[in-house]
């Protein structure tokens, strides 16, 4: 079974490496280092043999577009792509997450969610399994949540756009929120759209909480751009500053005190502005903000490489600094808990046997050695059978206690650890260490030791080298013109 699972993940990684060799050789070596990290994780039980850290990373630059209903997301995408790909309207016109990628065919194709769920190069690889864990049965309905669209436009080459359904928090299902969280975590750039035609953002508090609160205290919070779209609606009252200030106050109430709104609108669908001064001011502001947004979109290809190397480094440190220590601590608690219950169990069983002997119960006579001299044959048979039964019962109860105490601690882990990946890794490692065939008194987590630590340190050494080599491709502090352009060396030796 392990060999089949291993061959499946090898085929996926080989396919990914073949793609990267053509698309971006720099990242090819990073995949090989992910393989090194996988070996440590397999031995620890952190991930299964049919999984890989490399398949959990979107390898294309990824730009996500989130926002409220009628906030102009689809119009922005159509304008960016230069063709009408997405339906537009004042009401919800699409209830699926749409992944848009480049194609050499002029014809636009719409493919089902399965095309995303089964391809490790896309950000929704095996998302159906996550949906199944969130809501039973939803994993089979992947086509109801996702679709893939192709588009032949140079602005999309080498990138992925994700258009989300209009965000209405009160009506959102748990599965949709899970996908939204997944997108926000994996994206290189997140454009969050709001509708300037609704100047009372207080009515959308739930929406703001979901789209804004999760960005607070994130190390990558700078990848979120908040865009106040369709600001041409403020022309008649000439109150753009007031509308923007109202939205900024609402963001502050949701906990986000930094950042600003980009103010844009669609020139083709804009309200006519007769006042030349006012029109110039609005168009100038729009052009300035659109140029900043376009620049951030252009930068995602470079940021993508740093992001993937960052994921590799973060995962390695997570195993070393969080998963291994937490698993060791949990094992200590589990052993103490189980041994205490074992002691109580054996004490009760011993007390029961002694009580029976003291009361003259037949069991007491079976355990009386003096009886063996007169009734040796049948007493030995009975006592032997009884001993086997008692030992089997004790062994069975011990295994039940092991499982019982392990489940208690697993439930605590799920409540205490908020970070999804860390929670998953610790639970998986702990389950392997509490397997019935693993000795109770083992003090070292399975798969963790000097060799595992050396491999982790090797991975971290390579990630540092990757970043340095990548920096040398874009910087030249010495100013020398003859400095060679370095290439990243293999991380798998």
Per-residue pLDDT of the chain (493 residues; tens, 9 = 90+): 455 556 778 887 887 788 777 777 778 889 999 999 999 999 999 999 888 998 888 788 889 898 877 778 888 888 888 888 777 655 445 577 888 888 888 888 888 888 877 776 676 777 777 666 666 666 677 777 788 888 888 888 878 888 887 655 444 456 677 777 777 877 889 898 888 776 555 555 556 666 666 666 666 778 888 888 888 887 777 777 777 777 777 777 766 655 678 888 888 777 787 788 888 888 898 899 999 999 999 888 888 888 889 889 999 999 999 999 999 999 999 999 888 888 887 787 777 666 655 555 555 554 555 554 555 566 556 556 666 676 677 777 778 888 999 999 999 998 888 787 899 999 999 999 998 888 888 878 999 999 999 999 999 999 999 888 888 877 666 556 555 544 444 333 3
As beta bridge partners, residue 68 has 167
pLDDT of residue 425: 94
Query: What fold characterizes domain 61-298?
Result: Rossmann fold (3.40.50)
CA–CA dist 282, 452 (Å, integer): 59
Q: HSE on the CB side for 67, CA within 13 Å?
A: 28
pLDDT of residue 450: 93
pLDDT of residue 461: 95
CA–CA dist 297, 61 (Å, integer): 9
CA–CA dist 424, 417 (Å, integer): 9
pLDDT of residue 142: 75
pLDDT of residue 442: 81
CA–CA dist 158, 304 (Å, integer): 11
Structural domain boundaries in the chain: 61-298, 325-449
Instruction: Enumerate residues 6+ apart whose C-beta is below 8 A from 277.
Output: none
As beta bridge partners, residue 263 has 228
- Nearest C-alpha neighbor of 50 from the set 61, 62, 41: 41
Query: Is the whole-model pTM more than 0.75?
Result: no
Query: Do 367 and 357 form a contact (C-beta atoms < 8 A)?
Result: yes
pLDDT of residue 130: 65
pLDDT of residue 212: 67
Query: Do 77 and 85 form a contact (C-beta atoms < 8 A)?
Result: yes
pLDDT of residue 480: 60
Burial pattern 279-309, b for ≥16 Cβ within 10 A else e, equals eeebeebbeebbeebeebbeebeebbbebbb
């Amino acid at each position: 079974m392990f060999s089949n699972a291993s061959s499946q993940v090898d085929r996926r990684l080989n396919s990914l490496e073949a793609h990267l060799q053509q698309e971006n050789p720099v990242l090819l070596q990073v995949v090989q280092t992910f393989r090194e990290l996988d070996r440590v994780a397999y031995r620890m039980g952190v991930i299964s043999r049919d999984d890989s850290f490399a398949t959990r990373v979107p390898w294309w630059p990824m730009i996500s577009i989130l926002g409220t209903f009628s906030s102009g997301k689809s119009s922005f995408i159509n304008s960016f792509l230069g063709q009408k790909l997405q339906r537009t309207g004042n009401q919800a016109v699409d209830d699926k997450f749409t992944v848009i990628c480049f194609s050499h065919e002029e014809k636009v194709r719409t493919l089902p969610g399965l095309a995303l769920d089964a391809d490790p190069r896309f950000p929704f690889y095996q998302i159906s399994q996550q949906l199944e864990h969130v809501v039973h049965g939803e994993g089979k309905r992947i086509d109801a949540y996702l679709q893939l669209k192709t588009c032949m436009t140079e602005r999309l080459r080498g990138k992925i756009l994700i258009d989300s359904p209009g965000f209405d928090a009160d009506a959102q299902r748990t599965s949709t929120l899970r996908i939204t969280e997944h997108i926000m975590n994996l994206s290189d750039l997140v454009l969050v759209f709001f509708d300037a035609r609704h100047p009372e953002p207080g009515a959308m508090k739930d929406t703001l909480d979901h789209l804004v609160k999760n960005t607070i205290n994130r190390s990558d919070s700078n990848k979120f751009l908040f865009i106040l779209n369709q600001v041409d609606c403020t022309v008649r009252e000439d109150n753009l500053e007031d509308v923007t200030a109202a939205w900024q106050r609402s963001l502050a109430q949701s906990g986000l005190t930094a950042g600003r709104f980009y103010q844009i609108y669609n020139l083709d669908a804009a309200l006519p502005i007769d006042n030349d001064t006012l029109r110039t001011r609005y168009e100038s502001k729009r052009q300035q903000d659109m140029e900043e947004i376009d620049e951030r979109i252009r930068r995602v290809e470079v940021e993508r490489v740093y992001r993937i190397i960052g994921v590799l480094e973060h995962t390695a440190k997570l195993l070393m600094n969080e998963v291994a220590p937490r698993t060791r601590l949990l094992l200590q608690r589990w052993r103490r808990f189980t041994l205490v219950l074992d002691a109580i169990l054996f004490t009760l069983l011993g007390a029961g046997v002694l009580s029976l002997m003291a009361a003259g119960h037949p069991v007491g006579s079976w355990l009386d050695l003096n009886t063996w001299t007169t009734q040796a044959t049948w007493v030995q048979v009975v006592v032997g059978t009884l001993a086997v039964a008692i030992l089997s019962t004790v062994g069975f109860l011990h295994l039940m206690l092991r499982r019982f105490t392990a489940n208690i601690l697993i439930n605590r882990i799920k409540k205490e650890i908020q970070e999804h990946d860390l929670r998953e890794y610790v639970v998986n490692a702990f389950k392997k260490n509490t397997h019935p065939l693993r000795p109770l008194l083992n003090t070292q987590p399975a798969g963790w030791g000097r060799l595992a630590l050396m491999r982790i340190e090797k991975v971290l050494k390579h990630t540092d080298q990757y970043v340095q080599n990548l920096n040398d491709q874009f910087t030249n502090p010495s100013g020398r013109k003859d400095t060679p352009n370095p290439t990243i060396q293999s991380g798998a030796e």
